[in-house]
Amino acid sequence: MRRLAAGLFMVGFPGLEPPPATVALLQAGLAGIIYFARNVAGAGQLARLTAALQRDAAAEPLLLATDEEGGVVSRLPRGPARMPGAMALGAAAGPALVRRAALTTAAQLRAVGVSIDLAPVLDVGHVDGALGVRAFGDDATAVATMGAEWLRGLQDAGVMAVAKHFPGLGRSSVDSHLERPVLGPPGDALEPFRAAVAAGVACVMVGHAALPSVDPTGTPASRSRPVIEGLLRGEIGHAGLVMTDCLEMLGATGDVSVGEAAVAAVAAGTDLVLISHRPDLQTAAVDAVAAALSDGRIPVARAAEARARIAAASERFGLAARGHPDPDAAPFLLDRPSDRALAREIAERALTAVRAGSLPAGARPTVVDGGLGLAQALTERGVAVEVAEAAAVGPGSRPLVVGLGRIHDRGALAALAATGRPLYAWCVTPAGARDAAAAGARAVWVGYDATPAALAVAADALLGRVVGAGRLPVRAALP
C-alpha cells in the first residue's frame, strides 16, 4: 500500500541534491518532484539533477515540474531570455504573443528535463487581488483566451500545462499561503477553466479556497468532493489529472494535519498531492495515505484510478521515451538570442504609460528601487545615478526615480513625494501605479515584472527612448 500511496505524491526538497528522506520516497515509487529556485544553480546543473533523479526513481518516468509562469514567478536560471509573466502578456494584448512565449517557455523547460509547467494562472484578477500580476487581467473572457493560448503552446511543444487555481482565487485579497479564502458564487471566474478544459489541458490544480455555494461545509476546494467531482469533473467535464496546490499552505490545513489533508484530498478525487517543502511532512503524508488505503478510508480503486490518470498523462506526452537532458547544451538553450529578442518585444509592448514622461536630458537622478535593478539598468545606459534608501532622501531639485515592486509602502512613497523633488515612478503592479499617480508623480510607468527585459525597457522609457504601448489589464481608480 505504501508504494501505491507514494505514487500519488509530488514533492519538493531543499538544496541542490535530494536529502535521504526524498531519495527514500523516490525509491518507494514517488510520482514526481517539483523544482524551486533553491534547487537551481544553473542550466547545466539542473539538467544533471534531472538525470540523477530519474535514475534514483522507482517510478518510470518520474514527473518533473516547476512553476514557470514567467515574470515574478520563475524557477529557471535568471537571465535576459526569461519570459515576462501573465499580466505583461495581458497588457500587450496579443494572443499570438502569448503562444510564442509559451512555446519558448516549453523549449526552455524541456532543455532541463522538466515535463510539467504549473501554469497558466487562470484566476480572474483584481487590482488589489492576492495574485497580483500573476493573473492575465480582470476580464474573464480575455483571461480565458490567453490562458487557452498559453496551455496550447506549452502542450504543443511537449510540456504538460496545469491550469490553476481552481475554482479561482484572483478576486480574493486573502493569500491562501496564510489563511483560507472564502469565495462567493464563482460566476465568470469559471470561464477560463471551462476554456482550458475545452482546449485539452492536461491537469487542473485545485486551490485551497472554500466555495460555500458548492460545498456548504466550508471545506477547502483541494479536499472537497463536491468541488472536484461535482463541479470540475461533473459540470465542467474535466477528465484529466487533478492535483492540489501545496498542502503546507495554511489555507489547506488550519483544522487538520498535512497528512489528514492528503487523505481527504485523495478521497475527494485528487490524483496528485503536492507537498513542496518539508520532507518530514511528505513522509508522514505518504504514510497517512497508505494507512487510509489499508483500512478502507480511501478505496484502493480510487488510488488505482488516480494512478491510471497519471500514467495516461505520461503516455500522452511520451515521457517514457524521452532521454536525459544534455547538460552541455542546456545553458545555450535557456539563453538563445531569439528568446532574448522575444522577451524584449513583449516587455516593450506591455509597458504601460499611466502618466507619460521622461527624465530631463543629462539628469543625474537619485534612484530608490529597493534592489529591483532599475538603478543598474540606468547605469548601463550611461546615466550617473545616486542610489539611496527611501528614508535617506531629503528635499532638493535632483529628479527622484522610484521603483515600486510587488509590495510597496504607501507611507514611504508619500514621504518621497513630500520632498518636493520631481518624482518619476516605474511600477511592477497597477496598484503601485495608482498609488504613485496619487502621490503626484510626474511620470508613471507599469512594467508588470522585474525581468531583465522589463528593466531594460523601463530604463529606456525613463530616457524617452521607447513609448509604452500596453494597456492596464485590470481596472484601477487612477487620479
The answer as to whether 340 is a domain residue is: no
The answer as to whether 61 is a domain residue is: yes
The answer as to whether 341 is a domain residue is: no
Given a cut of 60, whether residue 406 has pLDDT beyond it is yes
Which of 278, 301, 333 finishes a domain? 333
Residue-wise pLDDT tens digits, 207-217: 998 899 999 99
One domain, residues 83 and 221: yes
Average pLDDT over residues 124-139: 90
Specify whether 165 is catalytic.
Answer: no
Residue-wise pLDDT tens digits, 367-382: 999 888 999 999 999 9
Question: Which of 175, 177, 277, 335 does the annotation list as catalytic?
Answer: 177
One domain, residues 256 and 393: no
The answer as to whether 339 is a domain residue is: no
DSSP state of 223: G
- CA distances (Å), origin 82, targets 73, 168, 338, 351, 446: 11, 26, 11, 16, 18
One domain, residues 378 and 308: no
CATH number reported for the structural domain that contains residue 6 in this entry: 3.20.20.300
Specify whether 277 is catalytic.
Answer: no
One domain, residues 251 and 315: yes
Average pLDDT value for the chain: 93
Residue-wise pLDDT tens digits, 264-273: 999 999 999 9
One domain, residues 429 and 295: no
What's the number of domains the chain is made of?
2
Average pLDDT over residues 317-324: 90
Please give the grid coordinates belonging to residue 127: 487590482
The answer as to whether 477 is a domain residue is: no
Note the pTM of the prediction, 2 decimals: 0.94
**Which residue in 343, 393, 272 sits closest to 30, CA to CA?**
272
The answer as to whether 343 is a domain residue is: no
One domain, residues 230 and 267: yes
Average pLDDT over residues 261-265: 96
One domain, residues 13 and 75: yes
Residue-wise pLDDT tens digits, 226-256: 999 999 999 999 999 999 999 998 756 777 8
Residue 250 pLDDT: 72
One domain, residues 209 and 134: yes
Question: Which of 215, 245, 271, 460 does the annotation list as catalytic?
Answer: 245
Structural domain for 355, as ranges: 351-462
CATH number reported for the structural domain that contains residue 443 in this entry: 3.40.50.10870
One domain, residues 224 and 313: yes
- CA distances (Å), origin 214, targets 59, 114, 192, 235, 268: 36, 35, 18, 11, 14
Residue 2 pLDDT: 93
